[in-house]
C-alpha cells in the first residue's frame, strides 16, 4: 500500500503538479446500479443543466486516514487542490502515480464525486492509456474504498496485473487512467478468430502481433463493422497485397457479398481500388477476423507508391 509515495520523494510542488494526469469523467445518471451505489442523505440532487462547477476537497478512507502520516496527507491534499473543477453530477478518475511492480503496475488515482450524495463505486472497468493507446484493462471491485462523500476526491491504489497488459511497450510520453462504465454505446471486438488456412501459413510471431493489434485497437460503436488495415506490400510481379482486420460490433454475423476497397499512399494518391467478392468473409458478433486481398497488376494505379504510410477505405 502507498506505493505512490516512491514517485514523490524529493519533489517540489511544481514537479508534483506534473504528476497529475488527464481526467476521465462519467455522468452519474449513465451508470448502472451494479457499478455505483448512491447513498441517501438530506441533500437532494438538483438538475443544473450541466453548467454548475464543483470544487472538491480531499477525503481519505478510514484505512488511509489511520495509516498515513501528516506529510503524506499534506502531499495528497496539495495534489487534490490542483485538480480542476468538476461539472456537477459526475463521477471521475484522475491518475497521479504509476509504479511498476514485479507482478504488474500499481496506479494511484483520485476517484471524484461532484454529486450531492455519497457514492460507492463498485464494479467498474479501468484502463491505462499510454499516449492515447490502450495498454492495460481490468474489471475491479472498489467496494473497499468506501463511500466517497459529496464534492470530494478519494485517493486509492489499484494493481493492474501483468495479465491485464495488452502489449509490452512501455515507451510513452504521457499516460492516463480511463473509467469504463455506464450505458454501453461501444463494444470491443477483442476475440480474434483466424481462418484455418491463413493460420496454417502464419508464424507464431505473426499470430502474437495480430493478437496484440486486436487487443490494442479502441472500442467501436455498437451495430457497426470497422475495417483496419495493418500490413501491405508489393510483390516482384507487381501484385499489391494488403492485410486488414474486420471488427464486428453487431449482434449478428457479418457476411458481406462484396465490398469496395480503396488504398491511398502517404501522399494521398490512389494506389489501388476495386469491387471484390467478399462472400468468403464471415465474422462472428464481438469478434475480429483478418483477411488478405491481392490486387493484380492491372488494378494497381501507382506501382511506385510510398507505402510506409497508407490509408484504407471500405464501402
Look at the domain 191-314 and name its fold: Immunoglobulin-like (2.60.40)
In this prediction, residue 19 carries a pLDDT of 82
Distance CA 94, CA 154 (A): 10
What is the chain's pLDDT, residue by residue, as a tens digit (315 residues)?
677 767 776 677 777 778 888 888 887 877 778 788 888 754 444 443 345 789 999 999 999 999 999 999 999 999 999 999 998 998 999 999 999 999 999 999 999 999 999 999 998 989 998 887 788 999 999 999 999 999 999 999 999 999 999 887 678 888 999 887 765 556 778 788 888 888 888 888 888 888 888 877 877 887 889 999 999 999 999 999 999 999 998 888 999 999 999 999 988 999 999 998 988 899 998 899 999 999 999 999 999 998 989 999 998
In this prediction, residue 225 carries a pLDDT of 92
Every domain of the chain and the residues it spans: 5-183, 191-314
In this prediction, residue 182 carries a pLDDT of 61
Helix, strand, or coil (residue 134)? strand
In this prediction, residue 10 carries a pLDDT of 65
In this prediction, residue 204 carries a pLDDT of 83
In this prediction, residue 24 carries a pLDDT of 83
In this prediction, residue 42 carries a pLDDT of 47
In this prediction, residue 157 carries a pLDDT of 96
- Cα four-point dihedral sign 127, 130, 132, 133: negative
- Cα four-point dihedral sign 199, 204, 210, 215: positive
In this prediction, residue 195 carries a pLDDT of 86
In this prediction, residue 218 carries a pLDDT of 77
H helices of the chain, in order, are: 5-8, 13-18, 62-67, 70-81, 196-201, 204-216
Amino acid at each position: 500500500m502507498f506505493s505512490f509515495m516512491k514517485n514523490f520523494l524529493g519533489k517540489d510542488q511544481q514537479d508534483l503538479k506534473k504528476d497529475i494526469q488527464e481526467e476521465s469523467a462519467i455522468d452519474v445518471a449513465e451508470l448502472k446500479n451494479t457499478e455505483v451505489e448512491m447513498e441517501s442523505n438530506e441533500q437532494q440532487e438538483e438538475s443544473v443543466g450541466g453548467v454548475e462547477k464543483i470544487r472538491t476537497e480531499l477525503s481519505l478512507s478510514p484505512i488511509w486516514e489511520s495509516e498515513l502520516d501528516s506529510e503524506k496527507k499534506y502531499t495528497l491534499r496539495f495534489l487534490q487542490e490542483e485538480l480542476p473543477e468538476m461539472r456537477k453530477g459526475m463521477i471521475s478518475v484522475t491518475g497521479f502515480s504509476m509504479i511498476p511492480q514485479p507482478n504488474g503496475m500499481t496506479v494511484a488515482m483520485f476517484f471524484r464525486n461532484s454529486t450531492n450524495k455519497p457514492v460507492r463505486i463498485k464494479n467498474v472497468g479501468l484502463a491505462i492509456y499510454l499516449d492515447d493507446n490502450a495498454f492495460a484493462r481490468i474489471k475491479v471491485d472498489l467496494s473497499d474504498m468506501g463511500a466517497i462523500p459529496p464534492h470530494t476526491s478519494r485517493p486509492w491504489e489499484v494493481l493492474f496485473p501483468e495479465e491485464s497488459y495488452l502489449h509490452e511497450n512501455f515507451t510513452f510520453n504521457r499516460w492516463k487512467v480511463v473509467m469504463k462504465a455506464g450505458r454501453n454505446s461501444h463494444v470491443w471486438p477483442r476475440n480474434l478468430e483466424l481462418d484455418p488456412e491463413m493460420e496454417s501459413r502464419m508464424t507464431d510471431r505473426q499470430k502474437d502481433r495480430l493478437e496484440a493489434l486486436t487487443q490494442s485497437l479502441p472500442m467501436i460503436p455498437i451495430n457497426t463493422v470497422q475495417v483496419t488495415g495493418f500490413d501491405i506490400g508489393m510483390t516482384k510481379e507487381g501484385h499489391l497485397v494488403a492485410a486488414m482486420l474486420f471488427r464486428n460490433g453487431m449482434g449478428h454475423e457479418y457476411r458481406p457479398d462484396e465490398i469496395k476497397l480503396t488504398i491511398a499512399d502517404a501522399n494521398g494518391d490512389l494506389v489501388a481500388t476495386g469491387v471484390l467478392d467478399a462472400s468468403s468473409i464471415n465474422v462472428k458478433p464481438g469478434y475480429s477476423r483478418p483477411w488478405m486481398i491481392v490486387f493484380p497488376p492491372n488494378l494497381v494505379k501507382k506501382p511506385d507508391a510510398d507505402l510506409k504510410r497508407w490509408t484504407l477505405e471500405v464501402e
